[in-house]
């Protein structure tokens, strides 16, 4: 029994210790962001690596999610003779929830895991130590550009996901199922509010971008510098990011809507 | 700048532990200025850890390390970074940045710390690359280099800022005879031609003996023996003799500490 208590305590102390390290790491990350003013090229390179390279998977997913939403909405609403309201349903679902959440999950899988693996390998191959010994701060040169890029890229990707999703809904609802195009757009226009829906969706994107980038970079920098360590850090990034996105989404939705 | 005179790095009563394992227990080493010094010791004695401590990447539990009159553990972040600009370090893997070409890797410290015009940077980099024989490989990526070439490129990078001391972490590990010869030649020429201090950690005895002016053997967290290659060869310590001759058994036992063999095998039968 005492052995059990000991292990239980050690487990939680370990988690708290790691959380503390991650928080201190975050402070250092935020402090290092200001150095990017002098080196915008580092940020642009990372925006390309995290944002542009994630764009294709986000656009394709957005299109299909929009199409599926329209199809499901149509099948349900037609029983009530309300099928022209699919525009509202598709747009609100995308902008408020699926846009930021699915983009966040895709971003964690595509860009977050890549950031962790890259930083973890830089640690394993002594590149981070090498930078330190050249009197170059890895926070300023390696971590901060990736962090800021993730924070900026995710809301933009989420917005594009929603936009393409609305197009996908139009494609299925209007072009295939024959809902009136004017009804599709006008219903959407009258029920989606810019401040309440679009802006809140963007705020979700910013929060998810912040959390996913933080987790990804911390996991990379904190990993055990072996191939096994890097691989489990990459897995942890995807698992923790996904759980954080889903948990935070519930909290944000409860506060916002 | 320094009143340290002949001694560039002074390590006094250094203690360091990793978890519950004590790595250093009261280490005292003086590293002479302008010489090639090698720290020898069996694997796992904390040789690389020592280099990281001199570079300020790890902090001592107690004791002090003084480099050119500055106590490393007490420096502010800025002072530490200023000191590091005067130290070059060659990592075992080379630690080249994999997303940059060889040329850009060598130019990296210059671009980070100076506003030199592009033309001058190019000249400085090409001169360093020429010195290590890799001018022709400047456009290759680190992945295209062999292990020996990567280490030479890393040496060029470590030299580009004209350091006062260069630290080599196991420079000969895993090198073919030609690369080994090239590295040996480079380390000793660089030291004499540029008038810097070289500190090397290694367990490649013959190579280390051939180019070092001063050797320090460490084991179990303390210095076992120190002196010139000749002094070490004539050392009366059995431990040193076992290490120098590479004998499998002696003061360092072949067997890891274990319970009695007979009891362990036959214990249950009795």
Interface of A with B in 151-210 (CB under 8 A): none
Q: SS3 helix, strand, coil % of chain A, rounded to 5?
A: 90, 0, 10
Q: How many percent of chain B have pLDDT more than 90?
A: 45
**ipTM of the complex as predicted:** 0.84
Q: What would you report as the CA-atom Rg of chain B, rounded to the nearest whole angstrom? A: 21
A209, A153 Cβ separation under 8 angstroms: yes
What is the rounded distance in angstroms from the CA atom of residue B154 to the CA atom of residue B91?
8
Better-predicted residue by pLDDT, B243 or A230: A230
Alpha carbons B85 and B56: distance in angstroms, whole number: 12
Chain B contact set for A131 (CB, 8 A):
97
Q: Please calculate the CA angle B33-B36-B42 and round it to the nearest 5 degrees.
A: 120
CA B54/CA B10 separation, integer angstroms: 10
Inter-residue contact A94 to A69 (CB < 8 Å):
yes
Please name which of B29, B15, B90, B2 lies closest in space to residue B216, comparing C-alpha atoms.
Answer: B29
Which has the closest alpha carbon to B42: B232, B187, B205?
A: B205
The partner residue sitting opposite B112, judged by closest CB among A122, A132, A136, is: A136
Give the residue among A177, A158, A153, A179 at the shortest CA–CA distance from A61: A158
User: B88 forms bridges with which residues in the sheet?
Assistant: B166
The predicted pLDDT at position B3 comes to 43
Q: DSSP letter for A52, please.
A: I
| Predicted local confidence at residue B108, as pLDDT | 93
Q: Helix, strand, or coil here: A257?
A: coil
Per-residue pLDDT of chain A (257 residues; tens, 9 = 90+): 889 999 999 999 999 999 999 999 999 999 999 989 988 999 999 999 999 999 999 999 999 999 999 999 999 999 998 988 999 999 999 999 999 999 999 999 999 999 999 999 999 999 999 999 999 999 999 999 999 999 999 999 999 999 999 999 999 999 999 999 999 999 999 999 999 999 999 999 999 999 999 999 999 999 999 999 999 999 999 999 999 999 999 999 999 98
Of residues A113, A98, A111, A95, the one with CA closest to residue A50: A111
- Nearest to A169, CA basis, from A242, A243, A79, A90: A90
Q: What average pLDDT does this structure show over B173-200?
A: 88
- Predicted local confidence at residue A88, as pLDDT: 93
Task: Name the residue among A127, A135, A141 with its Cβ closest to that of B95.
Answer: A127
Residue B1 has pLDDT above 70, yes or no: no
d(CA B83, CA A134): 10
Sheet holding B197-202, edge to edge: B87-90, B165-169, B197-202, B36-40, B214-219, B222-227
Cα angle: A46, vertex B84, A122; to 5 degrees:
35
- Tell me which chain B residues have a C-beta less than 8 angstroms from the C-beta of A125: 93, 95, 98
What is the Cα–Cα distance from A80 to A215, expressed in whole angstroms?
45
Chain A environment of B96 (Cβ under 8 Å) = 127, 130
Residue A86: closest CA among A159, A180, A4, A157:
A180
User: By CA distance, what is A127's nearest residue in B?
Assistant: B95
| DSSP codes joined into one string, chain B | --S-TTEEEEEEEEEEEETTEEEEEEEEEEEETTSEEEEE--TTSSHHHHHHHHTTSS--SEEEEEETTEEGGG--HHHHHHHHTTEEEE-TT----TTS-HHHHHHHHHHHH----HHHHHHHHHHHHHHTT-GGGTTS-GGGS-HHHHHHHHHHHHHTT--SEEEEESTTTT--HHHHHHHHHHHHHHHHHHT-EEEEEE--HHHHHHH-SEEEEEETTEEEEEE-HHHHHT---HHHHHHHHT-SSSSS-SSPS-S-HHHHHHTTT-
Residues B99-108 have pLDDT tens digits of 999 999 999 9
The confidence score (pLDDT) of residue B4 equals 43
pLDDT in tens, B191-241: 888 889 999 998 888 888 889 999 999 988 889 889 998 888 888 888 888
Q: Where are the domains of chain A?
A: 2-256
Ramachandran angles phi, psi of B6, nearest 5°:
-75, -20
CB contact under 8 A, B91 and A126: yes
Lowest mean pLDDT among A111-125, B19-33, B117-131, B248-262: B248-262
Cα gap B160→B127, rounded to integer Å: 9
| Contact (CB<8Å) A136/B109 | yes
Report the C-alpha gap between A216 and A222 in whole angstroms.
Answer: 10
| C-alpha R_g of chain A | 21
Contact in structure between B58 and B23 (CB atoms under 8 Å): no
CATH of domain B1-86+164-179+191-235: 3.40.50.300
In A, which residues are within 8 Å of B161 by CB distance?
Answer: 134
- Dmax (CA) for chain A in angstroms is 70
The pLDDT value recorded for residue B5 is 59
How far is A32 from chain B, CA to nearest CA, in Å?
14
Q: What whole-number distance in Å separates Cα of residue B106 and Cα of residue B127?
A: 11
Q: Which residues of B touch A136 (CB under 8 A)?
A: 108-109, 112
Closest CA relative to residue A234, chosen from A245, A247, A223: A223
Minimal CA separation from A45 to chain B, in Å: 12
Q: What is the 3-state secondary structure (H, E, C) of A227-240?
A: HHHHHHHHHHHHHH
* pLDDT at res. B183: 87
Q: If DSSP states are collapsed to H, E and C, what string results for B202-266?
A: ECCHHHHHHHCCEEEEEECCEEEEEECHHHHHCCCCHHHHHHHHCCCCCCCCCCCCCCCHHHHHH
The verdict on A17 touching B (C-beta cutoff 8 Å) is: no
């Amino acid at each position: 029994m005492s052995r059990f208590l000991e292990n239980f305590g050690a487990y939680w102390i370990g988690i708290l210790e790691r959380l503390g390290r991650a928080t201190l790491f975050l402070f250092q990350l935020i402090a290092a962001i200001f150095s990017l003013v002098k080196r915008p090229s580092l940020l642009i390179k990372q925006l390309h690596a995290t944002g542009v390279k994630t764009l294709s998977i986000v656009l394709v997913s957005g299109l299909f999610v929009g199409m599926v939403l329209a199809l499901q909405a149509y099948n349900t609403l037609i029983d009530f003779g309300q099928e022209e309201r699919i525009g509202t349903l598709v747009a609100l679902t995308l902008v408020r929830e699926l846009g930021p959440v699915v983009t966040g999950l895709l971003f964690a899988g595509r860009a977050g895991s890549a950031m962790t693996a890259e930083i973890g390998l830089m640690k394993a191959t002594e590149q981070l130590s090498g930078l330190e010994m050249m009197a170059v701060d890895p926070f300023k040169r390696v971590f901060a550009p990736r962090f800021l890029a993730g924070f900026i890229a995710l809301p933009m990707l989420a917005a594009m996901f929603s936009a393409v999703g609305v197009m996908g809904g139009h494609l299925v609802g209007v072009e295939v199922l024959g809902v009136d195009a004017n009804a599709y757009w006008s219903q959407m226009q009258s029920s989606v509010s810019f401040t309440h829906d679009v802006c809140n969706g963007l705020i979700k994107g910013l929060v998810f971008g912040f959390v996913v980038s933080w987790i990804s970079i911390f996991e990379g920098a904190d990993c055990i510098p072996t191939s096994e360590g890097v691989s489990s850090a990459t897995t942890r990034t995807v698992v923790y990011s996904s759980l954080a996105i889903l948990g935070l989404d519930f909290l944000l939705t409860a506060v916002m809507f | 700048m320094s009143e340290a005179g002949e001694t560039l790095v002074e390590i006094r009563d250094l203690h360091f532990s990793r978890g519950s394992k004590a790595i250093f227990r009261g280490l005292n080493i003086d590293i002479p200025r302008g010489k090639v010094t090698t720290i020898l010791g069996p694997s796992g004695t904390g040789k690389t850890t020592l280099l990281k401590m001199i570079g300020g990447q790890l902090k001592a539990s107690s004791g002090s390390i003084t480099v050119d009159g500055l106590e490393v553990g007490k420096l502010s972040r800025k002072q530490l970074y200023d000191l590091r600009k005067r130290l070059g370090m060659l990592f075992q893997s080379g630690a080249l940045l994999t997303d940059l070409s060889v040329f850009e890797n060598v130019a990296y410290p210059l671009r980070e710390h100076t506003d030199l015009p592009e033309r001058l940077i190019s000249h400085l980099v090409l001169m360093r690359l020429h010195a290590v024989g890799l001018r022709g490989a400047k456009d290759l990526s680190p992945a295209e280099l062999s292990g020996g070439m990567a280490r030479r490129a890393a040496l060029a990078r470590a030299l580009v800022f004209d350091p006062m001391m260069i630290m080599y972490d196991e420079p000969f590990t895993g090198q073919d005879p030609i690369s080994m010869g090239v590295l040996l030649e480079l380390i000793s020429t660089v030291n004499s031609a540029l008038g810097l201090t070289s500190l090397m950690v290694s367990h490649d005895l013959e190579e280390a003996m051939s180019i070092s002016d001063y050797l320090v053997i460490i084991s179990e967290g303390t210095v076992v023996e120190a002196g010139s290659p000749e002094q070490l060869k004539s050392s009366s310590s059995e431990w040193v003799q076992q290490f120098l001759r590479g004998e499998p058994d002696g003061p360092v036992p072949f067997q890891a500490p274990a319970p009695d063999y007979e009891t362990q095998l036959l214990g249950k039968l009795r």
